[in-house]
Amino acid sequence: MSRRALLAVVALAAATAACASGRAVPRPFPEPATAPEITAKRPSGDAFGHRLAATALEFRGVPYRNGGVTPTGFDCSGLVRYVLARHGLAIPRQTRDQFTAGDRVGRRDVRAGDLVFFSTVGRGASHVGIALDDDEFVHAPSSRGVVRVERLTTEYWRSRFIGARRLR
């Protein structure tokens, strides 16, 4: 393989590895209109996790923007990084790197403030959200273009869930 072809393959792999690393758009995200109505219930977990979840909820309705890291527009890992930074926690920018931060949490032990990860584009972590409790999470999907709440137990998310991490 020529050096130019190899560079093209490496660039393509980097661009599609995570929602914050390029133009890859995880599809298809489920449409909010087809999902059951979700009213964010009181998060379960410790006080710090509640604060993280409450901060994430403040951004519902903020537009999705690929590479977005501010309340004018977020992508999934940008939202997570912004919320954690407001609480004094530093985390890498890209989803695949966020997946290595903190402590691993089993699916049944997920609680408010935990980061939940999904494989939506290729193998490995390519999408991330912040848990509100053991079933609901806040995230910045590209479909319909706004930060919103969804359920981990819907078929789409359950089948793509690859792990959770706790940073505290």
* DSSP class per residue in 52-96: HHHHHHTTTTPBB-TT-EETTEE-HHHHHHHHHHTTT----SSHH
Distance CA 21, CA 46 (A): 32
* CB distance 63 to 140 below 8 Å: no
CA distances from 137 to 15, 91, 92, 151 (A): 25, 18, 20, 6
Catalytic residues: 76, 127, 139
Closest CA to 128 of 156, 105, 99: 99
